[in-house]
Chain A
Amino acid sequence: MAFYDGLFNALGLREWCDRDASDAPMSMADLLKQNNANSVDPNAEVFPFPSLDNLNDACSSIGQSRDVTAAIETGFLAAKPALKAVLDPITQPLSWMLDGALWLFETTPWWLMISALLILAYYASRSVGVTIFVALSLFVLGLVDHYDVAMQTLSIIFVCTSISVMLGVPIGILMSKFDRFQRFTVPVLDLLQTLPTFVYLIPLIFLFSVTESKLYGIAIILYAIVPVIRLTDLGIRLVDKDVIEAANAFGMNAKQRLLKVELPLALPNIMAGVNQTIMMSLAMVVIASLVSAPGLGRNVLVGIRQLELGVGIVGGIGIVLLAVILDRTSKAALSRVDKASHANGH
């Protein structure tokens, strides 16, 4: 005797409800209930919530909640071949790039790699202090034998950030030019930023095999691309209207205006976006170790799973060091750009 029986009887739906009813138990819970049919269930609520499961008790024509999850799964599985056929070839280069970068960072001798990184750090920041800090951090990482894993993490960040910038800047430019496109894009960006990071992984695991590196590549890019898009859009929209007017008054065409005026003036904002994108890639690369991304994140995961406190903490400190290196270097580059154009502001 279920609570909602009376409701369906009153609505005259009893016949429809019992159309294909069977007494065969569908689940363990049903079976238990059947056996205890005579005794009163002590946990039974007086007025249960009209959930699918409770309604099903009264009327078997109404599906149960587990049918909903099952339907989603079936739907997803049905769409999978088509989605895969489209997405697989498009995203395949990402796997190659990630694997290639991984190979490059791992096979380059450490002295060559570190020199290259220091030169890059100096070139970007033009600061001796930052370069020395980068050198010290890399030395510490190497000292505790974390050089290899740190390079794996760095190679993933390197590839994902580059792709985010290459895709994000043009998208940001389009958004700043077309209000309609912006209205459509902003909710998507909001969604990408608010989704819990684990949730990204679920559909991706279905679509791609966990052995493919593009799986974590896509997750990282989706998460990290948002700031560079937003700040490119913002930067271009914030360009002084008077300067744009001057560009028009002297007869610049759209391309000249973009390359000679808008992008240079938006550069400080775009660089701030790149800095954020780097930091978010790093955050995501740790979580992506759940889906086989190599690097420092995996050590942290081992620390959690096997309660190896020391391994986890050293991995964590390694990530912090990398984060500080990347942040200092890109911030120094940003403030250099900022100074060059701020000094020039009105």
Chain B
Amino acid sequence: MVNDMSKTPKVSLRGLYKIFGPDDQAMMEHVRAGMGKPELLDEHRHVLGLQDINVDMQAGEITVVMGLSGSGKSTLIRHLNRLIEPTAGEILIDGEDVMQLNQTDLRRMRQEKMSMVFQKFALLPHRTVLQNAAMALEVQDVPKAKREAEATKWLVRVGLDGYENRYPSELSGGMQQRVGIARALTSNSDIMLMDEAFSALDPLIRTDMQNLLLELQLELKKTIVFITHDLDEALKLADHLVILKDGAVIQQGEPQGILLNPADPYIEDFVSDINRARVLRVRSVMSPLVDGTIYAGDVEAHDNLESLIALSEGDTRLIYRVLKNDVPIGQMDMKVLVKALVPRISSAA
């Protein structure tokens, strides 16, 4: 479940707390003593935004933070570049504590290490697509010719070839967000923060954008922190999934693991509506090889269960051999597969 400890995380949050209100430091005492969000609001008129967040985000991975509105996910992502100051805790980026930076260094970090994509695009309406995309480099005083060449390159990459001189208002929502992504990529930062970047788009466009992101990610290997309230989106994109509720992490880990072993009824509830056959992969539900088994065929470890059901034509008596890089790593009994499709409900709870 937890990331393997051999890698140093790119971004690391340690014991992060955020309390909204005039006297947040004093409120920390109550929170550390175990006071919950509703009590803090009732008795002290302070809002507990985040409590004891510990998350490691690995380089080159997409970490998805998921939660319903009000769960603190947008607050969390704004801590990474200190658009919101935490009440307590550490934010480490490449092992360096962001809280120790002065204003100048903080600005430099925002310019060079992190870029951000926003739900409502937040493009500058009075500037062309090209000027918007070049903004990140303009802030760094990169000469015009150079920054526009860089911006053009990324605009082409996100599929906006030929739109350089249009204004944002002349583009559709999906295209505006492509500008937003090009703007973030132009800054050449390692870390990309995406705050509900696709939530404002209609479903078909959203799928396009998710595919675009995954395609870019294959090549660029950025460290992406992606915020969403949509579980399908989270499962599609996440290498590491963090689920927030009322400002606290209630479960984090590999998405398949969370789907198969939800830690709490809240998550069970969440995952029960998911098309599990499409999301679950063979590798997550397979069992160890048993000698002497007769296999109906070979399947790939990263195939989803849906494709396997199609392959077996619904015959639950079959057992397949699972290959990864042409090496057998396990077997997939169709009976086990069918059981895995039923969400686990802890009705006892």
Contacts and interface: CB of A to CB of B under 8 A. Distances in A.
A307 interface: no
Nearest to A243: B122
Given A242-B118, A344-B169, A345-B169, A250 B126 contact: no
B139 A252 contact: yes
Most A CB contacts (10 A, CB to CB) among B83, B106, B122, B169 go to B122
A240 interface: yes
Given A250-B135, A265-B125, A346 B116 contact: no
A264 interface: yes
Interface stretch (B107-115, B150-158, B254-262, B306-314): B107-115
Interface in A3-59: none
B137 to A, nearest CB: 9
Given A248-B83, A341-B126, A344-B169, A256 B118 contact: no
Nearest to A249: B116
Contacts of B120: 242, 346
A245 B140 CA distance: 17
B163 interface: no
Contacts of B115: 249-250
Given A242-B120, A344-B168, A249 B83 contact: yes
B177 interface: no
Contacts of A345: 125, 169
B139 A251 contact: yes
A264 B187 CA distance: 23
Nearest to A246: B122
B101 to A, nearest CB: 12
Nearest to A341: B126
Q: Chain A, interface size: which category?
A: 20 to 34
A246 B139 contact: no
B111 A344 contact: no
B84 to A, nearest CB: 10
Contacts of B108: 251
Interface centre among A250, A253, A260, A343 (most CB of B within 10 A): A250
Contacts of A253: 107
Interface in A311-346: 340-341, 343-346
A341 B126 CA distance: 6
Interface in B27-58: none
Contact of B118 (A246, A252, A260): A246
B157 to A, nearest CB: 19
Nearest to A344: B125
B195 to A, nearest CB: 9
Nearest to B141: A256
A248 B126 contact: no
Most buried by A among B115, B125, B135, B136: B125
A256 B122 CA distance: 16
Contact of A245 (B83, B106, B109, B135): B83
Contacts of B135: 250
A246 B116 CA distance: 7
Contacts of B187: 250
B205 interface: no
B228 interface: no
A253 to B, nearest CB: 6
B67 to A, nearest CB: 20
A256 B169 CA distance: 23
B222 to A, nearest CB: 16
A283 interface: no
B20 interface: no
A261 interface: yes
Contacts of A256: 139
Contacts of B122: 240, 242-243, 245-246
B81 interface: yes
A248 B116 CA distance: 10
A343 B124 contact: no
Contacts of A243: 122-125
A265 B126 contact: yes
Given A243-B122, A250-B116, A344-B126, 19 more contacts: A242-B122, A243-B123, A248-B110, A249-B81, A249-B83, A249-B114, A249-B115, A250-B110, A250-B111, A250-B135, A250-B139, A250-B187, A251-B109, A251-B111, A256-B139, A261-B124, A264-B126, A341-B125, A345-B169
User: 6 tightest A-B contacts by CB?
Assistant: A344-B125, A251-B111, A251-B110, A246-B122, A249-B116, A242-B122
